[in-house]
């Protein structure tokens, strides 16, 4: 597995990480703890060193699984987790909360669940409009000084917020959605990250599974699946958006690869400090995703993708309206 550094932070990780959310939440029935641990350890055996979780996934159960899975190899891996939500006693997400005292509480609780003495990358999960980002960055800076956290990250933050945070405590990585069917980061995010020396971690790099080519207008999702409420996943939108998958499939056939591998290889080709974190619950998909790291797209391939993709209009919003408003973008 190739390695990459997240910007100028010095934090070195595998070129492809593993997004662990789907093991416990969002995409239908979760895996059992035993199955999830087995999948994470399979990723380690195949060279993955970067694992992404959050207290809100489950909630809490995902961190517990990640901690149990990685405990035997703790010094060989990098764990990223997140703070910033209110979670009720019944496990419901009830808003954002990035008050410094809450950040400290979350850090201590996450350390216990992860069975570790440090968190390599601690992200603010979503911007809290009621807490100045300088206070958030200051709280994480204290945790870094205490040795509980190694690096600070932000997720779905706007560029002014990113700059203000970075001025207080250098931001190692920004995590936003980015893929061939959500390219907004190219407008401001990637240039700003390059300017400031901040790594970029795309989540949903396979468009929540759509860019694998395994989903079409007739696919049905389990009732618990988050995609049931996503405008981009209505049957009509899926039918229209199939054009992008057809493009990936054409190039994949020529390169003896899969559409998912081409989508990930395209992301890796954008910048050397980009580290996608595709998630999966299946071993064969994990192996397929890892295979993307060894695919080097030629300038002709990239030019063909760019030319064709620029003429494809993606239908449907990436989130329901209420959720989209909750991002910092």
Active site residues: 57
268 vs 315: CA distance, rounded Å: 25
Question: Do the Cβ atoms of 286 and 47 come closer than 8 Å?
Answer: no
Question: Do the Cβ atoms of 134 and 164 come closer than 8 Å?
Answer: yes
Q: Which residues of 25-34 are buried (b: 16+ CB within 10 A; e: fewer)?
A: bebeebbeee
Q: Which two tokens stand for residue 88?
A: 């009720």
282 vs 233: CA distance, rounded Å: 21
Beta bridge partners of 12: 5
Question: Do the Cβ atoms of 156 and 328 come closer than 8 Å?
Answer: yes
286 vs 290: CA distance, rounded Å: 6
Q: Which two tokens stand for residue 233?
A: 């996943």
If DSSP codes are grouped into helix, strand and coil, which group holds residue 83? Answer: strand
Beta bridge partners of 175: 155, 201
Angle at 227 between CA 306 and CA 326, to 5 degrees: 85
283 vs 269: CA distance, rounded Å: 25
If DSSP codes are grouped into helix, strand and coil, which group holds residue 183? Answer: coil
CA 305 to chain CA centroid, nearest Å: 23
161 vs 129: CA distance, rounded Å: 10
227 vs 230: CA distance, rounded Å: 5
Cα–Cα distances (Å) from 269 to 105, 132, 212, in that order, read: 39, 35, 18
Helix or strand run (H / E) with residue 199: strand 199-203
């Amino acid at each position: 597995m190739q390695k990459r550094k997240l910007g100028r932070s010095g934090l070195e990780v595998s070129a492809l990480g593993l997004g662990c959310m789907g093991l416990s939440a969002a995409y239908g029935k979760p895996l059992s703890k035993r199955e999830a641990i087995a999948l994470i350890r399979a990723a380690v055996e195949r060279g993955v060193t970067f694992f992404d979780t959050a207290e809100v996934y489950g909630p809490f159960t995902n961190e517990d699984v990640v901690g149990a899975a990685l405990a035997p190899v703790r010094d060989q891996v990098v764990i990223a987790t997140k703070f910033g939500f209110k979670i009720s006693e019944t496990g419901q997400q009830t808003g954002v909360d990035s008050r410094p005292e809450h950040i400290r509480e979350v850090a201590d609780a996450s350390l216990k669940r992860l069975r570790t003495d440090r968190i390599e990358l601690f992200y603010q999960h979503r911007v809290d409009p009621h807490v100045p980002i300088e206070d958030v960055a200051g709280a994480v800076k204290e945790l870094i000084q205490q040795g509980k956290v190694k690096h600070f990250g932000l997720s779905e933050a706007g560029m002014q917020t990113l700059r203000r945070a970075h001025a207080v405590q250098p931001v190692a990585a920004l995590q936003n959605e980015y893929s061939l069917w959500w390219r907004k980061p190219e407008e401001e995010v990637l240039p700003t990250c390059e300017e400031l020396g901040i790594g970029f971690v795309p989540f949903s790099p396979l468009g929540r599974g759509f860019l694998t080519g395994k989903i079409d207008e007739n696919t049905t999702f389990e009732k618990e699946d988050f995609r049931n409420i996503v405008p981009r996943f209505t049957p009509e939108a899926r039918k229209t958006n199939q054009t992008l998958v057809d493009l990936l499939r054409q190039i994949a056939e020529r390169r003896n690869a899969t559409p998912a591998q081409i989508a990930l290889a395209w992301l890796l080709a954008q910048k050397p400090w980009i580290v996608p974190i595709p998630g999966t619950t299946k071993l064969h998909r994990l192996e397929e995703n890892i295979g993307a790291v060894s695919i080097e797209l030629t300038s002709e391939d990239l030019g063909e993708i760019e030319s064709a993709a620029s003429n494809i209009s993606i239908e449907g919003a990436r989130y329901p309206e209420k959720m989209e408003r909750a991002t910092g973008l």
